[in-house]
């Protein structure tokens, strides 16, 4: 009889334990998954309650009701997530006091300068066209005198030119008379033309004789200089030639003909 009571009390205790666990599970608020840490806490609490219930059911057959009541684990209270603190509102910066500024004075409009009245241009002096004076009438005597002087100068220049040409021909003929062909150059049939530069005065003296262009043979060049020495004095220049000393260049040809 005592055993039946013991079993009955154990059964009642087990039923009460199951009922309390079921009631606690039903009344538990839904889990809020805010992060990995809270999810793990909730899962561990749920797993622990089911494991404790299974152990209580298995041990009811061999343990008394008092021991079953002692071994029944208490439900682990789940920690409710704390609400996140609301961010404090940032205080708005105080509005800067508007400085009282005195209104800027409006600049007075500058009066536009009135354009000066056009002054009548000074009357330009009129061009006084003066008739050129008539050229003085020349007498036929003056005209005849001018024509006479022009013809006289023309005749003078023509006379000077003629006198110069005559003197050059006379000078070349005089030099030709004193020209000597070197025997050695003739035997070797050496020919050529040597250009002699020299000056002469009114007395016909030969001054500063030089070879301005060689003939290519020293025999012929020396023969030309010796010709000037033998031909001195030269024919004097005519009085129509003004300079007192004349510079000349004379070609001297040596040919076998």
pLDDT band at 71 (very low <50, low <70, confident <90, very high): very low
Looking at residue 11, its pLDDT comes to 81
| Closest of 197, 194, 186 to residue 222, by C-alpha | 194
Please state the φ and ψ torsions of residue 210, each to the nearest 5 degrees: -145, 165
The pLDDT tens digits of the residues spanning 72-112 come to 445 454 555 555 656 565 656 555 544 444 455 555 656 56
Looking at residue 178, its pLDDT comes to 96
pLDDT at 150 over 70: no
For CA atoms 181, 185, 188, 193, the dihedral sign is negative
| Closest of 78, 4, 91 to residue 46, by C-alpha | 78
- 242 CB neighbour count, 10 Å cutoff: 8
Instruction: Please give the full DSSP string across 62-99, using - where no structure is assigned.
Output: TS-HHHHHHHSPPPPPPPPPPPPPPPPPPPPPPPPPPP
Is pLDDT larger for residue 164 or for residue 211?
A: 211
CA distances (Å), origin 136, targets 39, 71, 131, 142 = 141, 168, 14, 12
Looking at residue 215, its pLDDT comes to 95
User: Where are the strands (E) in the chain, listed by range?
Assistant: 192-201, 206-213, 245-254
Please state the φ and ψ torsions of residue 81, each to the nearest 5 degrees: -65, 135
Angstrom distance (rounded) from CA 153 to CA 164: 16
Residue carrying structure tokens 């007395």 = 203
- Structure token pair of residue 31: 């889990």
pLDDT band at 251 (very low <50, low <70, confident <90, very high): very high
Which contiguous run of DSSP H or E holds residue 24? Answer: helix 2-27
For CA atoms 136, 142, 147, 152, the dihedral sign is negative
State the average pLDDT over residues 19-27. 59
Give SS3 for 209: strand
pLDDT band at 239 (very low <50, low <70, confident <90, very high): confident
Is pLDDT larger for residue 8 or for residue 43?
A: 8
């Amino acid at each position: 009889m005592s055993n039946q009571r013991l079993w009955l009390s154990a059964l009642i205790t087990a039923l009460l334990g199951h009922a309390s666990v079921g009631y606690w599970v039903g009344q538990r608020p839904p889990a809020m998954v805010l992060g990995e840490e809270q999810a793990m806490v909730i899962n561990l609490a749920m797993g622990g309650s089911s494991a404790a219930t299974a152990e209580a059911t298995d041990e009811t057959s061999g343990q008394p009701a008092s021991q079953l009541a002692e071994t029944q684990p208490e439900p682990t209270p789940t920690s409710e997530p704390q609400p996140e603190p609301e961010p404090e509102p940032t205080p708005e910066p105080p509005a800067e006091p508007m400085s009282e500024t005195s209104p800027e004075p409006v600049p007075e409009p500058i009066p536009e300068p009135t354009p000066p009245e056009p002054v009548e241009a000074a009357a330009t002096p009129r061009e006084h066209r003066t008739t050129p004076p008539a050229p003085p009438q020349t007498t036929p005597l003056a005209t005849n005198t001018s024509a006479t002087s022009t013809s006289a100068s023309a005749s003078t220049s023509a006379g000077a030119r003629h006198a110069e040409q005559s003197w050059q021909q006379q000078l070349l003929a005089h030099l030709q008379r004193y020209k000597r062909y070197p025997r050695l150059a003739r035997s070797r049939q050496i020919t050529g033309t040597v250009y002699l530069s020299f000056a002469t005065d009114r007395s016909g003296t030969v001054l500063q004789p030089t070879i301005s262009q060689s003939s290519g043979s020293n025999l012929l060049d020396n023969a030309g200089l010796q010709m000037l020495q033998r031909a001195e004095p030269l024919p004097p220049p005519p009085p129509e030639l003004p300079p007192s000393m004349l510079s000349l260049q004379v070609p001297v040809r040596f040919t076998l003909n």
